[in-house]
Amino acid sequence: EGPIDSLKTPADIPDEPSPLLNDFEWVTIDLNKEDEMKQVESLLYEHYVEDQDATFRFAYSSRFFEWALKPPGWRHEYHVGVRVRSTGKLVAFISGIPSLLRVRNNKVPSVEINFLCIHKKLRSKRLAPVLIKEITRRVNKNDIWQALYTSGAVLPTPVSTCRYTHRPLNWEKLYEVGFSSLPAGVTKSQMIAKYALPSSTKTPGLRKMVPEDAAQVLELYNKFQAKYDLVQEFTKDELVHWLCGPDTQRDLEDKDKVIVSYVVEQDGKITDFFSFYLLPFTVLNNSKYDRLNVAYLFYYATDAGLDGKDDAVLAKRLSSLIGDALVVTKNLKIDVFNALTSQDNTLFLKDLKFGNGDAFLNFYLFNYKAFPIKGGIDPETKELDPVSRSGVGVVML
């Protein structure tokens, strides 16, 4: 396991980008400028990933990008755009954020590449590889040689593959927008009853996380994630950013936040935490709804079962903890709670009535050879694998 390409230095890397077609020019997006942030938001709003039957499109917001693209150590040069020279119109974007990965026992300074988006009218012009090459050049210039990215598409050699799972919170709305279906022989009220949740959480000591919790949460996170093979390592400042959101969003109401985190404090000690991020979908051509409110399970940890012996204790604790996350999101009027089969999720997904999605997320390491990492599913049947679970600790937005 380790880097693939021969060792290079930034001096070996060209100072200039590869040429684009004449009408286009490379730009660095300044996400501190409101109008440029808006241009990225609307490019993705119109042209980013949709589900296969184009029923939903991600509705990323500037608020989301303030969080996702400006963590501690972020760089303007890693926000790469392509504009039409004559009009200045933004027609493509790709981003990177710094990330210290641990791949099994190796620390790998890298970047996480995300939000590759090309205007619909410029598809299949081989622009994607050119964008990837340019951000690679910019990252290499900073002496970083590895990257992590995910894709629904199957590209050469994923290091891991996880499956989408969904836990309906507002089943009726999911049914009406065409995401959930009514199984034969089951009534709508039976489906609504199946997904009913208590109106209040049950874990004693559960409360919203505050930045002052960071030291204890980081210690718990590091202990809990030690078991995984692909992990994002955080400084305290990075943990505060990722779990409490950017400074500018601290005092927003939970329903307006992009990231929501809770801790369990008992006798002054933090024994668990969970977090989820909020990223809605635009519902395309539906008469009653134009938006689907979605929560995605983010990082969590518990000190239950840290001795790694008793999975039953761990599974029970996580079911109860994430069960409370469902209650919290339901009360925030979220319609569906999404999770992958990564982390220890396969220990509780079935118990908490998550349904298997029909899509998969592949994890890729750029310029790093690693033996395959379990994704929480059986490689043949693609069914959840609660026994061997997953080696993927990192969560990509």
Ligand X SMILES: Cc1c(C(=O)c2nccn2C)oc2cccc(OCCCNCc3cccnc3)c12
Q: What's the token pair of residue 381?
A: 């049947």
For ligand X, the closer of residues 88 and 152 by Cβ is 152
For ligand X, the closer of residues 11 and 155 by Cβ is 155
Q: Does 293 bind ligand X (CB under 6 A)?
A: no
Which of these segments, 74-82, 229-237, 334-342, 369-377, binds ligand X (CB under 6 A)? 334-342
What is the pattern of x (binds ligand X, CB under 6 A) and - over residues 135-174? ---------------xxx-----------x-x--------
Which of these segments, 211-219, 260-268, 335-343, 376-384, binds ligand X (CB under 6 A)? 335-343
Residues designated catalytic: 397
Run of H or E including 239: helix 236-244
Q: Amino acid identity of 138?
A: R
Binding ligand X (rule: CB under 6 A), the pick from 25, 36, 41, 51 is 51
Q: Which residues contact 196 (CB under 8 A, 6 or more apart)?
A: none
Between CA 250 and CA 66 the distance in angstroms is 12
Q: How far is the CB of 154 from ligand X (least distance, A)?
A: 12
- Direct distance between the N- and C-terminal alpha carbons of the chain, in angstroms, rounded to an integer: 26
Query: What is the distance of C-alpha 299 from the center of its chain?
Result: 10
Q: How far is the CB of 286 from ligand X (least distance, A)?
A: 13
Between CA 343 and CA 350 the distance in angstroms is 15
Which of these segments, 22-30, 78-86, 200-208, 333-341, binds ligand X (CB under 6 A)? 333-341
For ligand X, the closer of residues 110 and 140 by Cβ is 110
Residue that the structure tokens 């790694």 belong to: 308
Q: How far is the CB of 336 from ligand X (least distance, A)?
A: 5
Burial class (CB in 10 A: 0-12, 13-18, 19+), 168: buried
Which of these segments, 95-103, 197-205, 313-321, 337-345, binds ligand X (CB under 6 A)? 337-345
Binding ligand X (rule: CB under 6 A), the pick from 24, 60, 64, 179 is 179
Cross-strand pairs, 2: 369
Q: Which one, of 375, 390, 389, 366, lies nearest residue 161 by Cα?
A: 375
For ligand X, the closer of residues 243 and 270 by Cβ is 243
Run of H or E including 220: helix 214-225
Between CA 356 and CA 378 the distance in angstroms is 13
Contact 20, 130 (CB under 8 A): yes
- Residues 52-81 close enough to bind ligand X by CB under 6 A: 56
Q: Amino acid identity of 104?
A: R
Binding ligand X (rule: CB under 6 A), the pick from 43, 139, 283, 294 is 294
Q: Does 338 bind ligand X (CB under 6 A)?
A: yes
Contact 331, 253 (CB under 8 A): no
Q: How far is the CB of 227 from ligand X (least distance, A)?
A: 21
Binding ligand X (rule: CB under 6 A), the pick from 318, 361, 373, 392 is 361
Binding ligand X (rule: CB under 6 A), the pick from 29, 91, 218, 340 is 340
Strands 106-118 and 146-151: parallel
Give residues in contact with ligand X (CB under 6 A). Answer: 49, 51, 56, 150-152, 164, 166, 179, 281, 294, 296, 336, 338-340, 357, 361, 396-397
